[in-house]
């Protein structure tokens, strides 16, 4: 391998000995030079093992090979039985079992979870003499599994003893069964959940190496069964008791974290549970579940003892045709049921109730449709009859936890849904009887739409409190009193009646409101589009609604929350949709019926997706489904199924590695024969003082604390997880820093996976993520090398010159930087100009304006009692909207308008991005994508009229887009969607978040609107012996973007009028105003210094070092320390810290990014420039 493909040596990289290795070797799956001295290109795993054995250095590499050997053995048996190799997800599951990991089996329909459980139990008994148990929900599935076990064991000539139990056994056979159980005369036991509950005493004390719980929804609802299956794999009742005490303590931890006695007791419980997990022989548990639900706290035992949480299948909704028609008559319903045929669900709004559902069911039966009403206690039979064609249509009420809305997963059977009215909440607002917390959230939410200012803030504050404390009687009572107060005010009632967000009605003296139930519609319509191996099945959802407002509300919110647009039924090609629905049902049916699948190609992949932020990991997993979670020492791994890809999402929490601060080379960079190679150590973070360091030490170098986080744990956990998957997707942020993090992780994990790919998304939305998977690519080595140069240069300059400064100034909080030093110079120079150009003015205040007059030009001004308008002109001018925000303009505007610090702005923007509300916020491009233009066009059309739309691209398309909202939701609606729980956000949002979102939203929408014509007034004002010219905007002549960002208008002046003077005072000021943070950012942009990702960091560093300080109105002035440091550096090291040199280096970095310049030559140049100065 060419040495230029080696970028650095990393701790814990070697896949064999676990010590350091370079990225070049690791990418080639090659151990370090200590293990195998000579590099062999394209060497295979078995050859590496031979070489390691020859050198007597074989260690961890054997585990990689042994896992693959074990998988080959399993594949051989699997293939004999199924005549096809296991699919990707099944291979992953098997690897987990080999490594002793328990988990929830999440996979699309048709993947063969039951088949996997059967064959794995056979393999473990036949090859490893291990005992297994398979749990079934009913006797029908039990007999099918037993038949398949007997068939499969014959195919592989296994002597496996299969034992099972049914209630239909004769007394003699039951006794024989009990005797065999007692003597453990079997290899695989197949039982039902009912047997487990009633006859567990027969099994107690028997250890099972493998327990496969198939379709366990009913099992999980009985907390006793959870205890029983945990005992079967090796836990005692005492273990369960300790674990449950730890769970209860964890729930109380946040409220008692300041109580040292409680914290110590919690630690003892945690250590006890850890000891149980580490010392006991524990079997492996696989849970296969449709809904992923368990009652109470008992399912938390899985997390405490086996490090996983139960997830659920992906909810439907991938391919639904949302249709709408204004005819909600029963006649129209019947017409479309006859057209679409069997496999339909009919949903009745809860406001019409079960009685109307019964009427509709009777009407369908009268018209010879095999229809039935969904009833509790009868659903198992209804589902069976629906599958077998005995029933064509099921009618139910559309409520969030309705029988048809949740848990119904029949992808081969259910084809369409018809809603006879928009699902809704109907609340009485007579306020004469206590409402529950759920109703109060909606009632207060409605108030927040129509109240303003302090009243609005009061209601929203209570709404937040209620959501956090929804079971508190005191909070509920106080919330009710607030609601009652407002709902008795006539003006509030009138506002509610006119609201566009709710339907408020009065009938027979009763007041109530209807709110579209978006969540129920999403869940209910999702029954028609389910996940299977090839993706989502095509589904049809038809809403019949005559109330135009309800239809509009549903349509708008579905667009906001799901990016799903309703199509008028008259515009849809229903015949084509029905054909697609039928084709997909045939595919699912064939997959389910195929016990031998040699004709079916495995398109699936199991993938590990790495992102930087835990917030982003959580949000992505929830956008794609209901994740199962596995808990590692250093992170949580979220697992979701999305069609062909089973995705495991993990956050690296930023950089994992950085240049070491140990005694290596030149500040962590080894140099040999003009080749520069970084030496990287895992980042450590002190739990006490929070200092981050890479120094090889057992204590924090700042405070001496021995308790610190070390990302070495993450390195080991990621290696462990990578062994399970086929491919790793690097999904770090789309910039050079994200590319470097990605490169480190790709290099680390390459020995354990067959592929590593790069995907980038510029918005954390479902649409953005799915789009990213269409553009799978490679890591950009040029960007990585540019970031390497930046980091090494920063390290060299920082360490070299900080040391010099510390010695010179006898100060520890001191540093130098290529960019920060010239920027400090600008602030010092502006401060000097400000002091040198100060002049004295008379400041005149009137009722209409404020003006200043130079004292030296107008001594008579101080005696002035009134001001005269001596000349007045008016003209109409066109104002064009500003482009959407880039990083620098966002920082500047938010700082100018709200006095947020640049650090605060970037934190807020980061959290808005990670919560999927704005596009990526580190960008220097104002470009707007076609999707962005369409988003703005729809918002403007709906809110202001199509005639005010004027879309613009704002520059050529590049790698980044402007900063814009991801949905067409104005801030008020966004707040309500979040407060009411309709829009999921991974972290709580505060008022500053909404303020910044509003700024971004309005700027973007304005950029896609027509120009505005305004009327300007130009006046000449006479004050004593002075004349002053003044301009003011007085009116909007033609509306455009002014509809969303109104210009500041002032009252028109009248010619020859005399205006009384209120106050005259002397002021001293300069035309050279001191810089604000916003000014400095714009200056950096103009000068070509820094990057979008570093603007805020540079200013923050100057402030934290005490070089500059903020004074009145956010103005920046240099400190004595800052002036001294700048003078020292600029006089002694001018060539290194000049803005010309810094700017030229930024240009060189761009050339490296574009592949035009060799990064090693640049490092040599920088080294020669810096090293001699020591």
Predicted confidence band of residue 1 (pLDDT cuts 50, 70, 90): very low
Pick the catalytic residue: 920, 997, 1075, 1167? 920
Backbone phi, then psi, for 1072, in 5-degree steps? -90, 85
Tokens of 621: 């997993």
pLDDT of 36 reads 94
| Residue range 60-66: mean pLDDT, rounded | 91
H/E run at residue 32: none
Q: In this structure, are strands 103-104 and 284-287 parallel, antiparallel, or unpaired? A: parallel
Alpha-carbon torsion, ordered 968, 973, 974, 979, to 10 deg = -160
Predicted confidence band of residue 3 (pLDDT cuts 50, 70, 90): very low
910-950 pLDDT, tens per residue? 999 999 999 999 998 999 999 999 999 999 999 999 999 99
pLDDT of 255 reads 79
The SS3 assignment for 561 reads helix
Predicted confidence band of residue 292 (pLDDT cuts 50, 70, 90): low
The better pLDDT of the pair 170, 3 is held by 170
CA dihedral sign, ordered 1085, 1091, 1095, 1098: negative
Least confident of 154-168, 179-193, 380-394: 380-394
Identify whether the C-beta of residue 936 lies closer than 8 Å to the C-beta of residue 919.
no
- In angstroms, how far is the first alpha carbon of the chain from the final one? 35
Q: Is the pLDDT reported for residue 725 higher than 90?
A: yes
Q: Is the pLDDT reported for residue 406 higher than 70?
A: no
pLDDT of 533 reads 67
Q: Which residue's entry shows tokens 């030149």?
A: 666
pLDDT of 2 reads 40
Percent of the chain as helix, strand, coil, to the nearest 5: 45, 20, 35
Q: Is the pLDDT reported for residue 1128 higher than 60?
A: yes
CA dihedral sign, ordered 1105, 1111, 1116, 1120: negative
Q: Is the pLDDT reported for residue 1017 higher than 50?
A: yes
* Dmax (CA) of the chain: 121
Predicted confidence band of residue 958 (pLDDT cuts 50, 70, 90): low
752 a catalytic residue: no
Q: In this structure, are strands 1108-1110 and 1116-1118 parallel, antiparallel, or unpaired? A: antiparallel
8-state DSSP, 643: T
Tokens of 390: 């005995």
CA dihedral sign, ordered 785, 790, 793, 796: negative
From the list 1174, 1106, 1124, 1132, the residue with the least C-alpha distance to 809 is 1124
Q: Which residues of 365-399 are buried (b: 16+ CB within 10 A; e: fewer)?
A: eeeebebbbbeeeebeebbebbeeeebbbbbbbbb
pLDDT of 248 reads 92
431-453 pLDDT, tens per residue? 767 778 878 888 888 888 888 88
- Tell me, rounded to whole angstroms, the distance of Cα 774 from its chain centroid: 19
**Under 8 Å CB-to-CB from 204, ≥6 apart: which residues?**
231
The SS3 assignment for 1063 reads strand
Q: Distance between CA 731 and CA 764 in Å, rounded?
A: 11
- Cα angle: 836, vertex 838, 840; to 5 degrees: 150
From the list 660, 592, 174, 166, the residue with the least C-alpha distance to 410 is 592
Neighbours of 6 (CB within 10 A): 16
Predicted confidence band of residue 144 (pLDDT cuts 50, 70, 90): confident
Supply the DSSP string of 727-795, one letter for each residue.
EEEE---SSHHHHHHHHHHHHHHGGG-SEEEE---SS-SHHHHHHHGGG-B---HHHHHHHHHHHHHHH
Percentage with pLDDT > 90 across the chain: 62
Tokens of 683: 């980042």
Least confident of 296-300, 1044-1048, 1150-1154: 296-300
215-272 pLDDT, tens per residue? 766 677 777 899 999 999 999 999 999 999 999 999 888 778 888 999 999 999 999 9
Q: Distance between CA 1171 and CA 1174 in Å, rounded?
A: 6
Q: Distance between CA 348 and CA 1118 in Å, rounded?
A: 69
CA dihedral sign, ordered 897, 903, 904, 910: positive
Mean confidence (pLDDT) of the chain: 90
Q: What number of H helices and E strands is found in the chain? A: 40, 41
Tokens of 901: 């610090």
pLDDT of 69 reads 92
154 to 140, 144, 147, 158, 439: CA distances (angstroms): 22, 16, 11, 6, 60
Predicted confidence band of residue 1174 (pLDDT cuts 50, 70, 90): very low
Q: Residue 410's beta-bridge partner residues?
A: none
Backbone phi, then psi, for 753, in 5-degree steps? -130, 160
CA dihedral sign, ordered 484, 488, 491, 496: positive
969 to 452, 464, 766, 917: CA distances (angstroms): 19, 20, 16, 9
Q: Distance between CA 352 and CA 507 in Å, rounded?
A: 15
8-state DSSP, 18: S
Q: Residue 512's beta-bridge partner residues?
A: 428, 505
**Under 8 Å CB-to-CB from 924, ≥6 apart: which residues?**
886, 887, 888, 960, 1085, 1091, 1092
Q: Which domains occur in the chain, in start order?
A: 1-53 (no CATH), 64-235+280-309 (3.40.50.300), 320-423+518-593 (3.40.50.300), 426-515 (no CATH), 813-833+1074-1173 (1.10.460.10), 838-880+1013-1070 (2.60.510.20), 887-1010 (1.10.290.10)
| Residue range 125-148: mean pLDDT, rounded | 91
826-880 pLDDT, tens per residue? 999 999 999 999 999 888 888 888 888 888 767 777 778 888 888 889 999 999 9
Q: Which residue's entry shows tokens 């462990």?
A: 720
Q: Distance between CA 336 and CA 291 in Å, rounded?
A: 30
Q: Distance between CA 126 and CA 76 in Å, rounded?
A: 13
Integer-rounded Cα radius of gyration of the chain: 35
pLDDT of 569 reads 94
**Under 8 Å CB-to-CB from 289, ≥6 apart: which residues?**
104, 215, 216, 217, 220, 310, 312
pLDDT of 4 reads 40
| Residue range 675-687: mean pLDDT, rounded | 95
| Residue range 1047-1067: mean pLDDT, rounded | 86
Q: Is the pLDDT reported for residue 318 higher than 70?
A: no
Q: Which residue's entry shows tokens 């836990």?
A: 235
pLDDT of 510 reads 81
848 to 244, 844, 1020, 1058: CA distances (angstroms): 71, 11, 14, 11
Q: In this structure, are strands 1108-1110 and 850-854 parallel, antiparallel, or unpaired? A: unpaired
Backbone phi, then psi, for 870, in 5-degree steps? -90, -25
1127 to 798, 810, 821, 1121: CA distances (angstroms): 17, 16, 10, 10
């Amino acid at each position: 391998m060419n040495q230029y493909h080696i970028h650095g040596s990393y701790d814990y990289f070697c896949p064999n000995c676990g010590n350091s290795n370079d990225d070049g070797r690791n990418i080639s799956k090659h151990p370090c030079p200590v293990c195998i001295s000579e590099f062999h290109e394209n060497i295979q795993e078995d050859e590496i093992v031979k070489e390691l054995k020859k050198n007597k250095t074989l260690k961890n590499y054997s585990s990689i090979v042994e896992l693959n050997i074990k998988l080959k053995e399993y594949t051989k048996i699997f293939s004999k039985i199924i005549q096809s190799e296991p699919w990707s997800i099944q291979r992953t599951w098997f690897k987990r079992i080999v490594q002793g990991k328990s988990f929830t089996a999440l996979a699309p329909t048709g993947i063969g979870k039951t088949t996997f459980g059967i064959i794995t139990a056979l393999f473990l008994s036949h090859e490893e003499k291990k005992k297994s148990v398979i749990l079934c929900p009913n006797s029908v599935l039990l007999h099918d599994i037993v038949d398949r076990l007997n068939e499969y064991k014959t195919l592989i000539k296994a002597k496996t003893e299969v034992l099972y139990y049914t209630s239909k056994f004769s007394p003699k056979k039951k006794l024989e069964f009990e005797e065999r159980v007692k003597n453990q005369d079997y290899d695989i036991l197949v039982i039902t959940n009912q047997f487990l509950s009633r006859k567990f005493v027969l099994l107690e004390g028997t250890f099972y190496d493998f327990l496969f719980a198939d379709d366990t929804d009913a099992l999980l609802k009985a907390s006793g069964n959870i205890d029983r299956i945990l005992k079967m794999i090796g836990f005692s009742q005492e273990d369960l008791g300790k674990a449950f005490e730890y769970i209860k303590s964890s729930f109380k931890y946040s409220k008692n974290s300041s109580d040292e006695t409680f914290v110590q007791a919690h630690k003892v419980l945690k250590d006890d549970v850890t000891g149980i997990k580490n010392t006991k022989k524990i079997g492996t548990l696989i849970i296969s579940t449709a809904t992923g639900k368990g009652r109470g706290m008992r399912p938390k035992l899985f997390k405490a003892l086996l490090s996983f949480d139960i997830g659920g299948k992906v909810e439907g909704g991938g391919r639904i045709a949302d249709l709408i028609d204004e005819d909600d008559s029963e006649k129209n319903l019947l017409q479309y049921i006859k057209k679409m045929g069997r496999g339909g669900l009919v949903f009745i709004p809860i406001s019409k109730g079960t009685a109307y559902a019964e009427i509709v069911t009777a009407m369908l039966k009268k018209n010879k449709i095999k229809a039935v009403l969904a009833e509790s206690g009868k659903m198992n039979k209804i589902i069976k009859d629906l599958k077998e064609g005995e029933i064509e249509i099921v009618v139910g009420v559309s409520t969030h936890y309705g029988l048809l809305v949740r848990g119904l997963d029949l992808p081969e059977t259910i084809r369409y849904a018809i809603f006879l009215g928009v699902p809704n909440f109907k609340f009485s607002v007579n306020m004469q009887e206590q409402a529950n917390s759920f109703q109060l959230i909606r009632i207060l939410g409605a108030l927040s739409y129509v109240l303003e200012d302090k009243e609005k803030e009061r209601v929203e504050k209570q709404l937040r409190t209620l959501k956090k404390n929804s079971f508190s009687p005191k909070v509920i009572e106080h919330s009710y009193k607030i609601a009652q107060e407002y709902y008795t005010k006539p003006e509030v009632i009138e506002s509610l009646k006119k609201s566009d967000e709710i339907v408020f009605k009065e009938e027979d003296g009763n007041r109530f409101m209807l709110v579209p139930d978006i969540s129920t519609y999403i869940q209910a319509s999702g029954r028609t589009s389910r996940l299977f191996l090839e993706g989502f099945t095509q589904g049809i959802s038809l809403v019949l609604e005559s109330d135009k407002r309800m239809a509009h509300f549903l349509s708008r919110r579905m667009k906001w929350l799901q990016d799903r647009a309703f199509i008028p039924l008259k515009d849809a090609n229903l015949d084509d949709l029905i054909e697609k629905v039928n084709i997909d049902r045939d595919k699912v049916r064939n997959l389910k019926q195929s016990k031998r699948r040699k004709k079916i190609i495995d398109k699936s992949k199991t993938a590990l997706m790495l992102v930087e932020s835990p917030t982003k990991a959580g949000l992505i997993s929830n956008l794609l489904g209901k994740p199962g979670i596995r808990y590692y020492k250093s992170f949580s791994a979220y697992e979701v199924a999305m069609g062909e890809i089973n995705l495991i999402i993990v956050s690296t929490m930023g950089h994992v590695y950085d240049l070491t601060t140990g005694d290596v080379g030149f500040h962590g960079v080894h140099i040999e024969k003009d080749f520069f190679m970084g030496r990287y150590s895992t980042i450590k973070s002190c739990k006490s003082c929070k200092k981050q360091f890479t120094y090889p030490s057992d204590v924090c170098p700042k405070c001496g604390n021995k308790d610190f986080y070390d990302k070495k744990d993450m390195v080991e956990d990621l290696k462990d997880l990578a062994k399970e998957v086929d491919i790793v997707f690097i999904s770090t942020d789309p910039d050079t820093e994200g590319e470097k993090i990605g490169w480190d992780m790709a290099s680390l994990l390459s020995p354990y996976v067959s592929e590593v790919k790069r995907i980038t998304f510029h918005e954390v939305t479902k649409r953005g993520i799915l789009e990213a998977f269409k553009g799978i690519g490679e890591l950009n080595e040029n960007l990585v090398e540019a970031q390497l140069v930046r980091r090494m240069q920063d390290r060299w300059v920082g360490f070299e010159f900080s040391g010099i400064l510390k010695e010179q100034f006898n100060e520890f909080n001191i540093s130098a930087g290529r960019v920060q030093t010239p920027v400090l110079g600008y602030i010092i120079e502006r401060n000097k100009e400000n002091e040198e150009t100060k002049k004295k003015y008379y400041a005149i205040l009137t009722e209409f304006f404020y003006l200043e007059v130079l004292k030296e030009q107008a001594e008579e001004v101080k005696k002035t009692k009134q001001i005269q308008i001596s000349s007045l002109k008016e003209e109409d001018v066109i104002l064009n909207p500003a482009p959407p925000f880039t990083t620098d303009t966002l920082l500047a505007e938010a700082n100018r308008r709200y006095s947020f610090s640049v650090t605060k702005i970037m934190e807020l923007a980061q959290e808005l991005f990670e919560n999927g509300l704005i596009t990526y916020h580190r960008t220097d491009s104002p470009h707007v994508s076609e999707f962005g233009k369409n988003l703005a066009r729809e918002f403007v059309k709906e809110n202001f009229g199509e005639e005010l739309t004027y879309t613009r691209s704002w520059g050529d398309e590049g790698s980044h887009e402007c900063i814009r909202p991801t949905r067409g939701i104005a801030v008020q609606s966004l707040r309500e969607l979040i407060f009411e729980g309709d829009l999921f956000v991974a972290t709580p949002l505060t008022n500053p978040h909404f303020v910044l979102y509003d700024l971004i939203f309005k700027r973007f929408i304005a950029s896609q609107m027509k120009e505005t014509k305004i009327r300007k007034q130009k006046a000449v004002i006479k004050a004593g012996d002075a004349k002053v010219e003044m301009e003011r905007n007085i009116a909007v002549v033609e509306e455009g973007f002014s509809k969303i960002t109104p210009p500041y208008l002032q009252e028109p002046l009248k010619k020859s009028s005399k205006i009384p003077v209120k106050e005259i005072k002397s002021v001293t000021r300069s035309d050279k105003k001191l810089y604000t943070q916003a000014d400095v950012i714009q200056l950096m942009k103009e000068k070509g210094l820094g990057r979008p990702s570093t603007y805020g960091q540079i200013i923050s560093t100057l402030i934290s070092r005490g070089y500059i300080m903020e004074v009145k109105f956010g103005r920046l002035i240099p400190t004595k320390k800052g002036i001294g440091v700048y003078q020292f550096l600029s006089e002694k090291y001018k060539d290194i810290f000049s803005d010309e040199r810094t700017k030229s280096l930024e240009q060189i970095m761009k050339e490296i990014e574009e592949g035009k310049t060799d990064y090693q030559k640049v490092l040599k140049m920088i080294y020669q420039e810096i090293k001699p100065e020591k």
